[in-house]
Structure 1
Amino acid sequence: MLSRTADHLFWMSRYMERAENLARLMDVTYQMSLVPQSEEKANQSWNAIITLNSLEDAFAAKYPVVNGENVLKFMVCDSDNFSSIYSCLRLARENAHAVRGTLTTEMWETINYTWLEARGRSFDQLMAGGIADYFEWVKTRSHLSRGVTVGTLLQDEAYHFIRLGTLLERADNTARILDVKYHGLDHGGEEGATDFYQWGALLRSVSAFEVYRKAYRDVITPERVAELLILRGDMPRSLLFCMNGVVKNLDLVANSLSGETARLAGLLRAQLRYGRIDDILEHGLHEWLTDFMDRIYLIGDGISRDFLVPMVEAA
């Protein structure tokens, strides 16, 4: 496969997955903001989204204050923010259009229609219609795109690069969503019904509430939520599940240059497979997740170097 074709497929799937996961992150933060709390604490949660996406300077250039409305505008429909949901859906469509001949008709129509619908909605319209409903729409369109891909595309190299992009992006964003919640509890956090509601909202944001009940059959605790989203290989959005898929698909597209990238991915997968949540929490979850995200970046950079269009050329 041509490296440029692989590049477009890889980034098409990453941007589509990023839009979904950003919708999940924004949704859980929005739901948590509805719980009675001080304005300062609510704004800290919104600021965590900007910080975790390394957008402090870009946000400060457009908005003087970090609050719910400004962060929603910036992260949902700001065309100047390349990490907004709006931009992710646009970039997914642009990459899909570049390799239109490689995609099935159903794949192209799904991605193209998603973008056409998204670009026709203003922020005021989204808020009037219910921002939570918009987040659900984004998630549903991503699910549809992924389902059409699995159900219609030949499972050759094109499919493997799409899966690589999806799973790398999902691993990174699951870590970010989990880190946002723990960010608010670094200095003790709250207890009781409010805390239970917030952890329940976090699980629902990654479609894991029913999974948690089935796996643990007990009250929701931070330690078990972290274990479910990090170390459970049978949980589709967990870090271990994602890395299992990354290693598998890397093996299927391996070339003479990809040995080091495969080694880094295999090492990270092994540490997740044989890790224990007690050791992770003892080390510090925020620090562990930050290290994980750094290593995911290195693996993605390695994939770009080994298989795709070099970043300098792409820029």
Structure 2
Amino acid sequence: MLGRAANGVYWMARYLERAENTARLIDVGFHLALTRGSRARQEEEWRSVLITTGQEAAFLARKQELTGAAVFNFLLRERDNPGSVLSMIENARTNARVVRTSLTNEVWEATNETWMILRELLARPVRETNLREVLSTIRQRATLVRGAMEGSMLRNEVFNFARIGTFIERADNTARILDVKYYVLLPSVAWVGSSLDNVQWDTLLRSVAGNRAYSWLHAGSMDPRGIARFLILDGRFPRSLVFCFEKIRSNMAGLAKQYGAETQAHQLLRDAGTRLHDVNIEQIFEGGLHEFLQDYIGRTYRIGEAIASDYRFIA
């Protein structure tokens, strides 16, 4: 497969996943802001959403007031913002068009329709009254494209590159959400390991679509340490770090088989996976949760860069 085509399908998948993740972050930011009584606390919550998406500096450079409407419109529909959902969906569609002949009709049509629907939906400023509808549509459309790929694509290098892009993006997102939100929600370090009945923890889990699964496994008990274990080490949850790295490993193994050799990215991935499987939550907290998550954000980035280099991606 040519590097340009591999780059196209890889980034198509990453942009779609990132758009959905951004929608989920806005949703949790909106819910948490509603629970914050003071204006300052609400601003703090919206600022954390910007930090998690890596867009705080870009937003502040606009010298806009830090309000919910300003933040979620910036993240959803600002054309001058390359990190907005609208920009990412357009980039996903552009990349899909580049590799059109490598995709099934179902995948292309789902991607193209997603772009058309969201372009129309985001043509006007989003208000609090229709924010939920907009966010729900973004999540549904991203799920539809993934379903088309799962149900219609050959399990070849195109499928492997798309899946690798999806799970690299998802692993990065889970680590960033947990890193930014954990100590914002925790009243003090003394609460680590305690039981909390707090709607904010439920909302955090909602941001990664994990509230129902966590409740099933933990009988509804909101334990901060348990939440961290769930999002990092529980291989049953499809947005945990362990799950994401296992899926990347599986699809990278598929590429090695198809191309007849492993690459530097395979070794980086093996090192990251080994550490995840050899550590427990107590060891993670002893060494520092923030330090652990920052390490994995860095590892995920380096694996992505190695894949681009090893398979000669051309933008």
1:282 Cα offset (Å): 2.5
Query: Does the 8 Å contact 2:69/2:128 carry over to 1?
Result: no
One-letter code aligned to 1:198: Q
Q: Which residue identity lines up with residue 62 of structure 1 in the other structure?
A: R
Task: Structure 1 unaligned segments of length 5 or more: list them.
Answer: none
What amino acid does structure 2 have at the position aligned with 1:70?
Answer: A
Distance in 1 between the 2:51 and 2:208 partners? 20
SS in 1 for 2:209: coil
Match of 2:222 in 1: 220
1:146-196 CA-partner distances (Å, limit 9, x unpaired):
011000011111000000000100101111222232141466289899961
Q: Which secondary structure does the structure 2 equivalent of 1:211 belong to? A: helix
Shift of 1:128: 5.8
Structure 2: distance between partners of 1:193 and 1:218: 10
Give me the TM-score of the superposition, normalised by structure 1: 0.92
Cα distance in 2 between the residues matched to 1:32 and 1:126: 18
**Cα distance change on mapping 1:146 and 1:211 into 2, 3 Å:** same
Q: What CA distance in whole angstroms lies between the structure 2 residues aligned with 1:128 and 1:220?
A: 28
Kept after mapping to 1: 8 A contact 2:36/2:42:
no
Alpha-carbon distance between aligned partners in 2 of 1:123 and 1:154, rounded to the nearest angstrom:
35
Deviation of the 1:219 alpha carbon: 1.0
Q: What amino acid sits opposite 2:295 in the alignment?
A: D
Amino acid at match of 1:284: G
1:95 alignment partner in structure 2? 95
TM-score by length of 2: 0.92
In 1, Cα distance between the equivalents of 2:121 and 2:196? 33
Q: How many residues were matched structurally?
A: 311
For each residue in 1:208-255, what CA deviation from the matched residue of structure 2 results, as whole angstroms up to 9, or x when unmatched?
A: 122112222251111111111100111111110000011111121125
Contact 1:45 1:180 in 2 (8 A): no
Determine whether 1:208 maps to 2:221: no
1:39-80 deviation per Cα after TM superposition (whole angstroms, max 9, x unaligned): 222212211222233333322222333332221121111111
Equivalents in 1 of 2:123, 2:283: separation in Å? 43
Instruction: Between 132-141 and 43-52, report the one with greater CA deviation.
Output: 43-52
Whether 1:22 aligns to 2:9 is: no
Taking a change above 3 Å as real, the CA distance of residues 42 and 287 of structure 1, as seen in their structure-2 partners, is: farther
Conserved? CA contact 1:12–1:93, under 8 Å: yes
Residue 183 and residue 84 in structure 1: after superposition, are their counterparts in 2 closer, same or farther (change >3 A)?
A: farther
1:1-315 matches, within 5 Å, as: 1-122=1-122, 126-127=126-127, 129-185=129-185, 188=188, 196-254=198-256, 255=259, 258-310=262-314, 314=315
Assess if the C-alpha contact under 8 Å between 2:231 and 2:239 holds in 1. Answer: yes
RMSD (CA atoms): 2.3
Distance 1:284 1:66 in 2: 31
Partner of 2:83, secondary structure, is: coil
Give the AA of the match of 1:297.
Y
2:197 and 2:221 in contact (8 A); partners too = no
| Alpha carbons 1:25, 1:205 under 8 Å: kept | yes
2:10/2:161 contact within 8 Å kept: yes
Q: Residue type matched to 2:238 in 1?
A: P
Conserved 8 A contact 2:12-2:91: yes
